Amino acid sequence: MAAAWRAFGDRDRTMAFLNEADDVLGGRPLDLAVDGEAGLSAVLDRLAGVPLPPSSSSERQA
C-alpha cells in the first residue's frame, strides 16, 4: 500500500504495520484495507496520524 510506504519510508516498518495487529484498528491493517471501503478508510485515517520520517533534505541541513 503506497500510503503506508509514504508514512513509514522503509520496507521493514511498512511491512510490520501492514501485517501486525493494530489495537487502534482492531486487526491487521492489510486485512482491513482489502476487506472493503470502511476498512481501507480506517487504515488511511490511521496512517494520517503516523509521524513522517525525516526527509533526506532535512537530514542534510542538520
Domain ranges, residue 23: 2-49
The 10 Å Cβ neighbour count of residue 61 is 7
DSSP 22: B
Does the residue 10 lie in any domain? yes
Q: How many domains does the chain have?
A: 1
Q: Which of 48, 61, 54 lies closest to 10 in space, CA to CA?
A: 54
The reported pTM is 0.76
DSSP single-letter state for residue 36: -
Residue 55, domain member (yes or no): no
Query: Is residue 12 included in any domain, yes or no?
Result: yes
What distance lies between CA 58 and its chain's CA centroid? 21
Q: Tens place of pLDDT for every residue, the chain, 62 residues?
A: 799 999 999 999 999 999 999 999 999 999 999 999 999 999 999 999 876 555 544 444 44
Determine, yes or no, domain membership for 33: yes
Whether residue 17 lies inside any domain: the answer is: yes
Asked if residue 39 is part of any domain, the answer here is yes
Residue 54 located in a structural domain? no
Give residue-wise pLDDT tens across range 24-37. 999 999 999 999 99
